[in-house]
Structure 1
Amino acid sequence: MTGSKSLARFRDLLQKRLGWTFADNDLTQTATVLTTRAKAHGLSERDYLDRLDGRRWTAEIAELAQALSITETYFFRHEEQFRVLQERVLPDLIESRAGQRVLRIFSVGCSSGEEAYSLAIAAATAKPADDWIVTVVGVDANRQVLAKARSASYSPWSLRDTPEDVRTRWFRRTSDGYRVDERVAATVRFAEHNVAGEDPQLWRTAGYDLIFCRNLLMYLTDDVRANLYRKMTRALADGGYLFLGHTDSMGPRPDGMVVCHVGGTVYYQRQVTPAAPEPAPAPASPPAVRVARPPMAGPDLGADAYRRALGLLRDDRFAEALDALGDREVLLRGVLLAQLGRVDEARATAHRLIDVGGPQPDAHHLLGICHELDCADQATGQYKLAAYLDSQFAMPRLRMGLLARRRGDDTGAADHLEAALRLLAAESEERIMLFGGGFGRLALTTLCRTELDACGVRR
């Protein structure tokens, strides 16, 4: 039988490791979990607590999160919040993000994924054109529910509040329930994360346009809750929105946020930071918009090994080049996977690079290459974003020109091909090697000119 001192110490350690707080009516469950986990490791409760207190024990923390968390949820839970999202928030974000045509969404405490997929469906329904890019990240500390989320398969009970038209459009019937349509599932990624810990890349400044964090804050200690508020506020882009659970509140005057009310629904908007006065424009043309490119060689991959892998790529020895890279997450790995026809793995590599480093032109170009095999509209959207992020990047312009030619849009094709022809002269050798499909600068330039002639559009 668990003693009061062991139980008190266990609760203190749970607050320390998970940031969770517990009410007195949780004592029975908490005591049962302590006894069960200690026995699972063949330890006395005291030895188990000493080990839990002594060093990082990541696998056990995940087991505790699984044993102690409440995971019941369903699609479009709290329908009134989703109504505000669809009628007010998403139209505003679409208007303000029209230049970049990207919506970045974060589901904090996503449980088994219903909320994250609901957000993806709402955004997919609201976006005005197929070339808009929607990305949703869902995080939870419970490893078991994340496995269910990644499966994207649910019982009819999980869809009990889902409108019939939404069910028909965005779900596919299975033998025992429903599966989220691949168009939605492909935009959602899940990660194991303990909100009491730190992850600078996950919580990068201005990384998201919309954050949902519902029915989690009430379980956190005051310090962890306050820190999470700060992280969410900082992670929202200017004009971005935050939705909390009905029992949660940031107070009447949250720092950096505006409180919004629609009927009985309260939510928050990140204040827009005033722009600094701009200096008088220089006579030269404006600089290109640039975002950091994804790691090429990376800190764990020596320059010699990377050059060897590039050489193997140049010789079309893709499998050998992939072996040389091993499991390291670098752009070259994604390119090689695509060349070998392992498109899903290539797409996943690009997504992980974006998750770690934010929007990056080379990673989005790789996504475009992957999508050309199954959805030309999504491919064009990825190429547009790559060109937007780096206006000197020739390769996405070339690909958009070729896709436009395929559609019979000779005028649009000519615009892109002329831009590609102009930019190819300064394109880096590495990008040509990665994305040129085995063609060099001269061959790509010739291809541009040939396709331009075929367009028959006079300038």
Structure 2
Amino acid sequence: MIRASDLSRFWELLQRRLGWTPTDQDGTQTTEVLSARAAAHQMNPRDYLNQLAKPGWEAETAELADALSITETYFFRHGDQFRILRDQAIPERIAEREGQRVLRLISVACSSGEEAYSLAIEAYRARPGNDWIVSVTGVDANRRVLAKARGATYSAWSLRETPEDMQQRWFRPEGDNFRVVPEVTAVVQFVEQNLAEEAPQLWHPGRYDVIFCRNVLMYLTPAVQARLIQHLTSSLAPGGYLFLGHTDSLGSSPDGLEVGHDGGTVYYRRTSSTSPAKTTPPPLSPRRVEAPAPVVEDDVYPRALGLLRDDRFAEALDLLGDTTETKDLLLRGVLLAQSGRLDEARDTAHRLMDVGGPHPDAHQLLGVCHELDCADQAAGQYRLAAYLDATFAMPRLRLGLLFRRRGDDRGAVSHLEPALELLAREEEERIVLFGGGFGRLALTTLCRTELEACGVRR
């Protein structure tokens, strides 16, 4: 028998553990879940609640997320938002990211994955060339639906709003179901994350070009909601797009965002390169704030490299200053290229070669700069980089992608195959410098996907 006091306490614990606020007004669903979970542990409701109140028991928190989540979704749900994404948001972000050739999107509370794969399909089909990297992250606290998402197999009902031509291109029949094609599943990763908990690995400043966080905020407590809004805003790239559900609103003047209207659809866009003022409440548990450590000379390079990893190019350039050290010059040149200051980046690469003679990383940097205006010159620089250092994976990868863009699959394979072997041993620092914001695993997946597109199974 569930008493009113038990139900009230259960709601309080759900708010504390998951950041969720009650939505079933009569408590029917919550009562059923409390009874079922207590019985699963062979406890009475009071003992179960006492155990749930203790620190830990993360596995049970995941079970509650599974039991209480609302998981109804389908591909390309709310077509007006996907129309804005397709016609406006992605073309703008491609123009902005031309120097990096990277698009990053995230689906928050992604459920069984249909939304994340829909984002991936739109971004993948819009990319200007095979050398562009698309990365989509799906986030949810529900392990059961994430397992389905990773399986990438769906019923016809999930495709009920998907046009026939899209179904034929991006899905493969599998019995009575449909499986998302491998080139799309390769660019999507799913992460189990409780939104009530801090997740710095997700919310890098300025990281995402597009964020979908639909019909989530209304279920969260005010404190968790405010903190999530801050994360969403700060992790959008300048000019990046945020799409919320029709039940959610940030008001008419949200901090750090401008409001867009298209017919009856509202969306938000990051207004500037500066992070919005933090207005979130204190974290759920108190923590002591340490004074920042003083910056010492030897600490500058690793800190600047970390800022590059987080796409914070302007901050990294300010930190480096007018450096003359060879290692710092290379990092400065990469940051200039990523910021679109290509003439300055080329000058920096030539300075490196003037100081130390032939320099494979300087030629790699020149290749990156020339890809925007002369693919032949870029290829020549990549060949020099690979010749000067036969263990250097990144020029081989870029050459393979250039050949793929030209439609020369045989030439692409001749570079992608050695790139795949070399990536396993590539220096981590070179991956940060020349990986476009992606790690070893993502680049390896890209290499394998392009080889498969050339007809080579690896």
Equivalent of 2:385, from 419, 422, 432?
419
Indicate if the aligned counterparts of 1:394 and 1:420 stay in contact, CA closer than 8 A: no
Change in Cα spacing, 1:291 to 1:140, as seen in structure 2 (3 Å) is farther
The CA deviation string for residues 45-94 of structure 1, in whole angstroms up to 9 with x for no partner, is 11100110011111101110111111011000000000000001000000
User: Counterparts of 1:393 and 1:261 in 2: how far apart (Å)?
Assistant: 49
Hey, what does 2:95 align to over in structure 1?
A: 95
Query: Aligned to 1:184, what secondary structure does the other structure show?
Result: helix
Q: Which amino acid aligns with 2:114?
A: E
Change in Cα spacing, 1:436 to 1:171, as seen in structure 2 (3 Å) is closer
Hey, what does 2:10 align to over in structure 1?
A: 10
Q: How does 1:433-444 map to 2 (within 5 A)?
A: 435=422
User: Counterparts of 1:287 and 1:226 in 2: how far apart (Å)?
Assistant: 41
User: Counterparts of 2:141 and 2:171 in 1: how far apart (Å)?
Assistant: 26
Indicate if the aligned counterparts of 1:113 and 1:148 stay in contact, CA closer than 8 A: yes
Which 5+ residue runs of structure 2 have no aligned equivalent? 275-313, 335-348, 354-358, 369-374, 394-418, 427-458
Q: Which amino acid aligns with 1:287?
A: L
Change in Cα spacing, 1:425 to 1:30, as seen in structure 2 (3 Å) is closer
Q: How does 1:45-84 map to 2 (within 5 A)?
A: 45-84=45-84
CA drift at 1:273: 2.1
Query: Aligned to 2:104, what secondary structure does the other structure show?
Result: strand
CA drift at 1:288: 2.5
TM-score (norm 1): 0.65
The CA deviation string for residues 91-130 of structure 1, in whole angstroms up to 9 with x for no partner, is 0000000100000111000000000000000001111111
TM-score (norm 2): 0.65
Residues 1:187 and 2:229 aligned together: no
Q: Which amino acid aligns with 2:20?
A: W
Hey, what does 1:269 align to over in structure 2?
A: 269
Change in Cα spacing, 1:137 to 1:168, as seen in structure 2 (3 Å) is same
Hey, what does 2:164 align to over in structure 1?
A: 164
Indicate if the aligned counterparts of 1:394 and 1:424 stay in contact, CA closer than 8 A: no
Change in Cα spacing, 1:393 to 1:104, as seen in structure 2 (3 Å) is farther
Change in Cα spacing, 1:162 to 1:425, as seen in structure 2 (3 Å) is closer
Q: Which amino acid aligns with 2:50?
A: D
User: Counterparts of 1:70 and 1:134 in 2: how far apart (Å)?
Assistant: 28
User: Counterparts of 1:162 and 1:47 in 2: how far apart (Å)?
Assistant: 48
User: Counterparts of 1:291 and 1:61 in 2: how far apart (Å)?
Assistant: 47
CA drift at 1:290: 7.0
Indicate if the aligned counterparts of 1:394 and 1:423 stay in contact, CA closer than 8 A: no
CA drift at 1:414: 3.3
Q: Which amino acid aligns with 2:224?
A: V
Change in Cα spacing, 1:148 to 1:215, as seen in structure 2 (3 Å) is same
The CA deviation string for residues 370-394 of structure 1, in whole angstroms up to 9 with x for no partner, is xxxxxxxxxxxxxxxxx9xxx9765
Q: Which amino acid aligns with 2:422?
A: F
User: Counterparts of 2:360 and 2:39 in 1: how far apart (Å)?
Assistant: 58
Hey, what does 1:298 align to over in structure 2?
A: none
Which 5+ residue runs of structure 1 have no aligned equivalent? 293-386, 402-408, 440-459
The CA deviation string for residues 215-256 of structure 1, in whole angstroms up to 9 with x for no partner, is 111111111111110111111122211100011111111111
The CA deviation string for residues 310-340 of structure 1, in whole angstroms up to 9 with x for no partner, is xxxxxxxxxxxxxxxxxxxxxxxxxxxxxxx
Q: Which amino acid aligns with 1:418?
A: L
User: Counterparts of 1:283 and 1:52 in 2: how far apart (Å)?
Assistant: 55
User: Counterparts of 1:5 and 1:75 in 2: how far apart (Å)?
Assistant: 41
CA drift at 1:413: 4.5
CA drift at 1:44: 1.2
Indicate if the aligned counterparts of 1:117 and 1:185 stay in contact, CA closer than 8 A: yes
User: Counterparts of 1:77 and 1:237 in 2: how far apart (Å)?
Assistant: 24
User: Counterparts of 2:6 and 2:424 in 1: how far apart (Å)?
Assistant: 63
Q: Which amino acid aligns with 1:435?
A: L
Change in Cα spacing, 1:291 to 1:266, as seen in structure 2 (3 Å) is farther
Q: Which amino acid aligns with 1:163?
A: P
Q: How does 1:180-329 map to 2 (within 5 A)?
A: 180-273=180-273, 287-289=329-331
User: Counterparts of 1:291 and 1:188 in 2: how far apart (Å)?
Assistant: 30
Change in Cα spacing, 1:438 to 1:111, as seen in structure 2 (3 Å) is closer
Query: Aligned to 1:60, what secondary structure does the other structure show?
Result: helix
User: Counterparts of 2:161 and 2:127 in 1: how far apart (Å)?
Assistant: 22
CA drift at 1:164: 0.8
CA drift at 1:181: 0.3
User: Counterparts of 1:436 and 1:27 in 2: how far apart (Å)?
Assistant: 54
Q: Which amino acid aligns with 2:116?
A: A
User: Counterparts of 2:10 and 2:212 in 1: how far apart (Å)?
Assistant: 30
The CA deviation string for residues 116-162 of structure 1, in whole angstroms up to 9 with x for no partner, is 00000000111111111000000101110000000000000000000
Hey, what does 1:129 align to over in structure 2?
A: 129
CA drift at 1:415: 3.0
User: Counterparts of 2:159 and 2:84 in 1: how far apart (Å)?
Assistant: 20
User: Counterparts of 2:73 and 2:16 in 1: how far apart (Å)?
Assistant: 26
Task: Let me know the Cα RMSD of the aligned residues.
Answer: 3.7
Indicate if the aligned counterparts of 2:215 and 2:247 stay in contact, CA closer than 8 A: yes
User: Counterparts of 1:426 and 1:259 in 2: how far apart (Å)?
Assistant: 46
Query: Aligned to 2:203, what secondary structure does the other structure show?
Result: coil
Percent identical across equivalent pairs? 53
User: Counterparts of 2:13 and 2:323 in 1: how far apart (Å)?
Assistant: 62
Change in Cα spacing, 1:22 to 1:101, as seen in structure 2 (3 Å) is same
Q: Which amino acid aligns with 2:39?
A: K
Q: How does 1:148-163 map to 2 (within 5 A)?
A: 148-163=148-163
Indicate if the aligned counterparts of 2:215 and 2:244 stay in contact, CA closer than 8 A: yes
Query: Aligned to 2:27, what secondary structure does the other structure show?
Result: helix
CA drift at 1:207: 2.1
Indicate if the aligned counterparts of 2:134 and 2:187 stay in contact, CA closer than 8 A: yes
CA drift at 1:412: 5.9
Indicate if the aligned counterparts of 1:20 and 1:219 stay in contact, CA closer than 8 A: yes
